């Protein structure tokens, strides 16, 4: 039985569109039907622009038939994380402050994707103001995990990860500060790539010179991540960290010889709390794959100051972005964003200086590891998914956690180092949920990392229990949809803005 169009990779779809084997109109209709069938059970896609998308798909089809030059994403439908501005389409940031906010223009990443021929279908759900790794907010409610809708799908790019995992859309955008591309990818069985700061410009970063926040691609396979990245990478005068790059190289990822790779691994970076079951799963994965590599050995980075360093640098970004809203009324911010703001507002110049000194010292130490290793592996998340009704994880192995985001440490310690990193699916964990492997590359070695991961993807698919798991959508739809909005929504957005055509 042939695969439905929605299950094809983005790269396969783009080739088929260019070869006139399928029509952008046909593909869009398949995606819209999939969204209508699956989204009520997971609540991943929020505001939509279906009528506009249909018009753009017809125009894309006409361009193919005329023989016009086609962009690298021509005719591919995509979802936009609800932290990214989209022209004429409701953008709420998951916050009541922006309940009826309709931007006049696309932000740079969305504009680049549309210029490459992609078609915006709708927005994907986020935590309030992107704070935390549980995708739930008082505007749209929660998003369920496609492997069990009662459980957390990660965040903050949770809606994007779920839309990809369930074949609602072939491409979705994401962003990452403490792990927001990597964590939902891990929990939903897809790929989330955190690029080097500046590879993909970020015009909405309030502190333009602070590299912890990036935007980037998500996909169901490495080829799709590379294709997506090829459309959005490259210098922009809107981002002082951005730089020139040959973006076309990402669209044609080659495989690297795994037998030449020197691989380091760490279960906790020496500082992160990790559930005992996840430790066992990770170490068993290492044993299952170590024969693939030239060498595979544990590493012990010196990241003892990482927690406090991240606290300070992250909180400074919240102060920069939300001071006016907080000063008007602290109730404008929900519990997570408010905690971040208040932490930052209480800090001193000495705190900031110490954090940046620590970050610089740890950066230099961490980069020295890559004299001996090509990539470093770790778990992406320290626990299997928990219920989305619990706002954040409060303990690991019975040990209370210091704050609501401390359970993100496996990813945020890498954020501080600025190395490119991604999460890719590597079988299932002890609870039968997707297990994400975090793969970290050398400083600004994005292409080398992606090509190594393409080889890992190919190899893992041929090793029992290491390939990408798929959600059982028939089982999902056999149960009545959950109430994803109950207790979280104060009032719905204006109905006319939710579906903008």
- Please tell me the distance from the alpha carbon of residue 337 to that of residue 339, in angstroms, as a whole number: 5
Catalytic pick among 156, 175, 213, 242? 156
Axis crossing angle, helix 50-66 with helix 10-18, rounded to the nearest 10: 50
**Cβ atoms < 10 Å from Cβ of 415:** 26
Helix (H, G, I), strand (E, B) or coil at 144: strand
294 token code pair: 């030239």
- Please tell me the distance from the alpha carbon of residue 81 to that of residue 74, in angstroms, as a whole number: 20
Q: Is the peptide bond before 238 cis (omega within 30 degrees of 0)?
A: no
Query: What is the chain's length?
Result: 501
156 is catalytic: yes
- Please tell me the distance from the alpha carbon of residue 435 to that of residue 185, in angstroms, as a whole number: 9
Catalytic pick among 23, 180, 242, 378? 180
Question: DSSP per residue over 269-285, as a string?
Answer: TTT----HHHHHHHHHH
In degrees and rounded to multiples of 5, residue 145 shows phi and psi of -75, 135
Catalytic pick among 23, 81, 378, 455? 81
390 token code pair: 């619990």
Helix (H, G, I), strand (E, B) or coil at 434: strand
Query: Taking the alpha carbons of 154, 155, 161, 162 in that order, is the dihedral positive or negative?
Result: positive
Q: H helices within 290-390, ranges in order?
A: 306-328, 335-345, 349-368
Helix (H, G, I), strand (E, B) or coil at 27: helix
Within 8 A by CB and 6+ apart from 95, the residues are 128, 129, 137, 138, 139, 332, 333, 334, 337
Query: Taking the alpha carbons of 4, 9, 10, 11 in that order, is the dihedral positive or negative?
Result: negative
DSSP 73: T
- Please tell me the distance from the alpha carbon of residue 405 to that of residue 411, in angstroms, as a whole number: 11
Quickly tell me which residue has 């606290």 as its tokens.
Answer: 311
- Please tell me the distance from the alpha carbon of residue 158 to that of residue 143, in angstroms, as a whole number: 7
315 within 8 A of 347, measured Cβ to Cβ: yes
Distances (CA, A) of 370 to 28, 253, 263, 311: 44, 22, 10, 26
By annotation, the residues acting in catalysis are 81, 156, 180
């Amino acid at each position: 039985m042939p695969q439905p169009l929605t299950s094809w990779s983005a790269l396969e779809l783009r080739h088929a569109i260019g070869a006139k084997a399928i029509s952008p109109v046909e593909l869009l209709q398949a995606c819209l039907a999939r969204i209508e069938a699956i989204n009520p059970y997971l609540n991943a896609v929020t505001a939509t622009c279906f009528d506009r998308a249909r018009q753009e798909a017809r125009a894309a089809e006409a361009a193919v038939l005329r023989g016009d030059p086609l962009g690298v994403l021509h005719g591919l439908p995509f979802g936009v994380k609800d932290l990214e501005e989209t022209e004429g389409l409701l953008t709420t940031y998951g916050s009541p402050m922006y309940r009826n906010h309709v931007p006049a223009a696309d932000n740079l990443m969305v504009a680049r994707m549309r210029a490459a021929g992609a078609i915006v279908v709708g927005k994907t759900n986020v935590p309030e103001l992107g704070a935390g790794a549980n995708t739930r907010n008082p505007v749209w409610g929660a998003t369920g995990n496609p492997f069990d809708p009662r459980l957390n799908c990660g965040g903050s790019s949770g809606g994007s990860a779920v839309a990809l995992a369930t074949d609602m859309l072939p491409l979705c955008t994401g962003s990452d500060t403490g792990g927001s591309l990597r964590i939902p990818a891990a929990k939903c069985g897809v790929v989330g790539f955190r690029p080097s700061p500046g590879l993909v410009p970020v015009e909405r970063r309030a502190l333009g010179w602070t590299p912890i926040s990036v935007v980037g691609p998500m996909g169901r396979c490495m080829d799709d991540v590379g294709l997506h990245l090829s459309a959005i990478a490259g210098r922009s005068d809107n981002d002082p960290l951005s730089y020139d790059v040959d973006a076309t190289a990402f669209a044609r990822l080659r495989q690297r010889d795994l037998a030449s790779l020197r691989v380091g691994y760490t279960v906790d970076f020496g500082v992160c709390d990790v559930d005992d079951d996840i430790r066992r799963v990770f170490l068993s994965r290492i044993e299952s794959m170590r024969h693939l590599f030239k060498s595979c050995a544990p590493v012990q980075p010196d990241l003892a100051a990482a927690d406090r360093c991240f606290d300070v640098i992250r909180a400074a970004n919240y102060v920069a972005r939300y001071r006016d809203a907080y000063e008007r009324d602290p109730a404008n911010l929900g519990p997570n964003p408010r905690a971040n703001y208040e932490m930052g507002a209480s800090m001193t110049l000495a705190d900031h200086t110490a954090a940046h000194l620590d970050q610089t010292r740890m950066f230099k130490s961490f980069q020295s590891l890559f004299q001996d290793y090509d990539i470093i592996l770790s778990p992406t998340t320290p626990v299997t998914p928990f219920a989305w009704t619990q706002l954040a994880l409060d303990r690991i192995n019975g040990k209370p956690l210091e704050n609501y985001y401390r359970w993100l440490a496996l990813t945020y310690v890498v954020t501080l180092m600025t190395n490119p990193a991604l999460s890719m699916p590597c079988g299932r964990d002890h609870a039968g949920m997707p297990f994400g492997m975090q793969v970290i590359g050398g400083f600004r070695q994005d292409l080398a990392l992606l090509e190594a991961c393409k080889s890992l993807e190919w190899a893992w698919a041929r090793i029992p229990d290491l390939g990408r798991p798929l959600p059982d959508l028939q089982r999902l739809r056999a149960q009545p949809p959950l109430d994803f909005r109950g207790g979280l929504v104060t009032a719905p957005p204006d109905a006319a803005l939710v579906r903008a055509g």
